[in-house]
Amino acid sequence: MARPDHGHQCHRRDRDQAQDGRTYAVAGPHPRPLLCDVGRLCVGHGGEGTGHGKHGCVTVDAQHSGTHRGTRSGIDLSHVDPAIRPQDDLFGHVNGRWLAEHTIPADRAVDGAFRTLHDQAEAQVHELIGEAERSGAASGTDEQRIGDLYASFLDEATVEARGVHPLLEEIALIDDAADPAALAAVLGRLQRTGVGGAVGLYIDTDSKDSSRYLTHLSQSGLGLPDESYYRDEKHASILGAYPRHISKMFALVFGGFPEQYTERAGRIVALESALAAAHWDVVRRRDADLTYNLRGFADLVAEAPGFQWDLWVDALGCSPQRMAEVVVRQPDYLTAFAGLWSSGGADFADWKDWARWRLVHARAGVLTAEVVEEDFDFYGRTLSGTEQLRERWKRAVSLVESLMGDAVGRLYSALVIRRDDLYGNVIRGAEARYDRELAKLGGPVDRGEWFMSPQTVNAYYNPGMNEIVFPAAILQPPFFDADADDAANYGGIGAVIGHEIGHGFDDQGSKYDGDGHLVDWWTDVDRSEFSARTGKLIDQYDAFIPRDLADRPEPPHVHGAFTIGENIGDLGGLSIALLAYRLSLGGREAPVIDGMTGVQRVFFGWAQVWRAKTRAAEAIRRLSIDPHSPPEFRCNGVVSNIDDFYEAFTVDTDDAL
Helix (H, G, I), strand (E, B) or coil at 613: strand
List 199's β-bridge partners, or say none: 219
Q: What is the pLDDT of residue 71?
A: 65
CATH class of 166-363: mainly alpha
pLDDT reading at 34 higher than 80: no
List 39's β-bridge partners, or say none: none
pLDDT reading at 59 higher than 50: no
Q: How far apart are CA 106 and CA 269, in angstroms?
A: 30
Q: How far apart are CA 215 and CA 408, in angstroms?
A: 24
Q: What is the pLDDT of residues 197-226, one digit of tens each?
A: 999 999 999 999 999 999 999 999 999 999
pLDDT reading at 429 higher than 90: yes
Q: What is the pLDDT of residues 345-364, one digit of tens each?
A: 679 999 999 999 999 999 99
Helix (H), strand (E) at residue 204: strand 199-206
Percent of the chain whose pLDDT exceeds 70: 88
The residue that leads in pLDDT, 66 or 443, is: 443
The CATH classification number of 38-119+452-648 equals 3.40.390.10
Q: How far apart are CA 348 and CA 306, in angstroms?
A: 13
Q: What is the pTM of this model?
A: 0.89
Q: What is the pLDDT of residues 602-653, one digit of tens each?
A: 999 999 999 999 999 999 999 999 999 999 999 999 999 999 999 999 999 9
3-class DSSP string for 302-366: HHCCCCCHHHHHHHHCCCCCCCCEEEECCHHHHHHHHHHHHCCCCCHHHHHHHHHHHHHHHHHHH
Nearest alpha-carbon partner for 118 in 36, 179, 195, 47: 36
Nearest alpha-carbon partner for 304 in 273, 336, 345, 271: 336
Q: How far apart are CA 222 and CA 528, in angstroms?
A: 37
Q: Are 218 and 210 in contact (CB under 8 A)?
A: no
Q: What is the pLDDT of residue 18?
A: 39
Q: Count other C-beta atoms under 10 Å from residue 535's C-beta.
A: 13
Q: What is the pLDDT of residue 415?
A: 86
Q: What is the pLDDT of residues 534-590, one digit of tens each?
A: 999 999 999 999 999 999 999 999 999 999 999 999 999 999 999 999 999 999 999
Q: How far apart are CA 636 and CA 650, in angstroms?
A: 16
DSSP states of 120-172? HHHHHHHHHHHHHHHS-PPTTSHHHHHHHHHHHHH-HHHHHHHTTHHHHHHHH
Going from N- to C-terminal start, the domains of the chain cover 38-119+452-648, 166-363
Q: What is the mean pLDDT of residues 518-532?
A: 97
What's the pLDDT band for 452 if we cut at 50, 70, 90?
confident
Nearest alpha-carbon partner for 500 in 534, 533, 475, 466: 466
CB < 8 Å & 24+ apart, contacts of 613-616: 613/99, 613/102, 613/104, 613/110, 613/111, 613/112, 614/104, 614/109, 614/110, 614/548, 615/104, 615/109, 615/110, 615/384, 615/385, 615/386, 616/385, 616/548, 616/549
Q: Are 53 and 93 in contact (CB under 8 A)?
A: no
What's the pLDDT band for 29 if we cut at 50, 70, 90?
low
pLDDT reading at 60 higher than 90: no
